[in-house]
Amino acid sequence: MASISTCPYCGALVRSDEPKCPGCGAANEQYVADTPALDLRPKTISELKEYCAVHELPLKQLRFFIGEDYREPRAYGIYRDVGEFVVYKNKANGSRSLRYQGPDEEHAVRLLYDKLLEQYRKHGEGANRAAAVPSGPPKTIEELQAYCGAHGMPLRKMRFFIGEDFKEPRAFGIYRDGNDVVVYKNKDTGERAIRYRGRDEAHAVKELYDKLLDECHRRGIYPEGKPVARSGRTRSAGSSSPAKKKGCFSRAITSPVVIFLLFVILSTIVSGCIDDRAHRSDGYYSTGDGTVYYHYGDNWYYTYDDNDAGYWYPTDGFPESSYEEYSLGDSWDADWGVSDFRESSTWDDLHTSSSDYSDWSNDDSGWNDDDWGSSSSDYSDWDSNDTNWGSDW
């Protein structure tokens, strides 16, 4: 049975039946050639919920709503509607695109699961990938792989093969051959031009790294940020006169930045008071059927005694109109047979600020697309025919 591991270079999820990382193209050290087809994917909505709970995915931040017919813009979701299962995408303008509506739950779940992994690979690993990339230009093949993974480069589409002796025409690459490191270009005729062969890995990597950036820049892509044109005017040191310095402090006090900071401080104090009132009825509730609810502010969550994942699911409200009489108190009791809401991954999702997903930007999720397809990136229009494949380098 195939398993899932994490790429040590870019943080992408890699199956043991994949010879290369789908994120950066690095060789998969866990690859097993005869691994049977992976069959660990969730097949029901409940299994998908538990999968996300086990992997601690903050679904609301990721804009995925599982088991919910969510109506706000910018959302992916799946829910059961009588005898059918609906997979949908709410676009930025609020219109809905249906990916699937039918009786096949496994197919419906697979569609959303694949989209979730696609979005995760595209955005959610950003913090992990960035952490794996050393400062400065890469000096080893592994660092170059991590760099490309961090910048989301589709290397095969770009015809760059890092850590691989690729034999087909139209390719740039680098690989280790014994104690040597080889940098090459396969021309359109299939002939190979060796750019470097030797033991200086840092030099070899720089050769391919510079070529990679050159190909990007020729297409108007700047992985390190577009260079800013310098102004022709410079100010000599000490040119500020005493008269100009005199009013600095008074201007600082009335500057928009200072006013904004004062506003933030006051807002924090006021919101803290409001937050205390909003959470006065926080606590555990149950009707005695084995399901326990937690009231948190204006929101309700529930779990049940055989939920091994310990995840608390959002719900529209308590099943009874008057919930006060069903209170179990605001302190958790292990005798209830459910997890502690304040120790659950749901609680962490609600309060996380520095997780791997803290930099997730939903502005990058292609919410204006007319269909299910992922949004275009800087590399979406990359055409390898624009490269001069007839030259030696």
pLDDT mean across residues, the chain: 74
Q: Which residues of 135-164 are buried (b: 16+ CB within 10 A; e: fewer)?
A: eeebbebbbbbbbbbbbbbebeebbbbbbb
Amino acid at site 389 = W
Compare 61 and 234 and report the one with higher pLDDT: 61
Residue 143: is its pLDDT beyond 80? yes
Q: Smallest Cα–Cα separation from 85: which of 93, 77, 94?
A: 77
pLDDT at residue 104, rounded to an integer? 93
| Strand 192-198 to 283-286 pairing | unpaired
Residue 5: is its pLDDT beyond 60? yes
Compare 246 and 315 and report the one with higher pLDDT: 315
Q: Which two tokens stand for residue 380?
A: 């979406």
pLDDT at residue 285, rounded to an integer? 92
Give 361's pLDDT tier (boundaries 50, 70, 90): low
Residue 192: is its pLDDT beyond 80? yes
Q: Where are the beta strands (DSSP E) in the chain?
A: 4-6, 13-15, 64-66, 75-81, 84-90, 96-102, 160-162, 171-177, 180-186, 192-198, 283-286, 291-296, 299-304, 313-315, 327-329
What would the mean pLDDT of 33-51 be, rounded to a whole number? 72
Alpha helices in the chain (DSSP H): 45-54, 59-62, 105-119, 126-132, 141-150, 155-158, 201-218, 242-246, 248-253, 256-278, 345-351
pLDDT at residue 288, rounded to an integer? 83
Least confident of 204-218, 229-243, 299-313: 229-243
| Strand 75-81 to 84-90 pairing | antiparallel
Residue 141: is its pLDDT beyond 70? yes
Least confident of 67-71, 260-264, 326-330: 260-264
What is d(CA 31, CA 27) in angstroms, rounded to the nearest whole number? Answer: 8
What is d(CA 30, CA 20) in angstroms, rounded to the nearest whole number? Answer: 10
Q: If DSSP codes are grouped into helix, strand and coil, which group holds residue 246?
A: helix
Counted residue by residue, the chain has a size of 393
Residue 44: is its pLDDT beyond 80? yes
pLDDT at residue 199, rounded to an integer? 93
What would the mean pLDDT of 319-331 be, rounded to a whole number? 86
What would the mean pLDDT of 14-32 be, rounded to a whole number? 74
Q: Report yes or no: 53 and 345 within 8 Å, Cβ to Cβ.
A: yes
pLDDT at residue 32, rounded to an integer? 63
Q: If DSSP codes are grouped into helix, strand and coil, which group holds residue 345?
A: helix
Q: For residue 133, give every residue at least 6 positions away whose Cβ sits within 8 Å of its Cβ, in sequence order, or none.
A: 143, 146, 147, 150
What is d(CA 306, CA 1) in angstroms, rounded to the nearest whole number? Answer: 26
Provide DSSP, 194-215.
EEEEES-HHHHHHHHHHHHHHH
Q: Smallest Cα–Cα separation from 114: which of 67, 53, 148, 64?
A: 64
Least confident of 98-102, 279-283, 298-302, 355-359: 355-359
Q: Report yes or no: 336 and 284 within 8 Å, Cβ to Cβ.
A: yes
pTM value?
Answer: 0.38
Alpha helices in 219-353 (DSSP H): 242-246, 248-253, 256-278, 345-351
Distances (CA, A) of 257 to 69, 98, 248, 261, 263: 41, 45, 14, 6, 10
Q: Which two tokens stand for residue 122?
A: 């595209």
Q: If DSSP codes are grouped into helix, strand and coil, which group holds residue 290?
A: coil
Residue 55: is its pLDDT beyond 90? no
What would the mean pLDDT of 127-152 be, rounded to a whole number? 70
What is the share, in percent, of the chain residues with pLDDT greater than 90?
Answer: 21
pLDDT at residue 120, rounded to an integer? 67
Helices and strands in the chain: count of H runs, count of E runs: 11, 15
Give 15's pLDDT tier (boundaries 50, 70, 90): confident
Residue 189: is its pLDDT beyond 80? yes
What would the mean pLDDT of 239-251 be, rounded to a whole number? 48
Compare 222 and 86 and report the one with higher pLDDT: 86
Residue 93: is its pLDDT beyond 90? no
Compare 4 and 219 and report the one with higher pLDDT: 219
Number of Cα atoms under 13 Å in the Cβ half of residue 350: 16
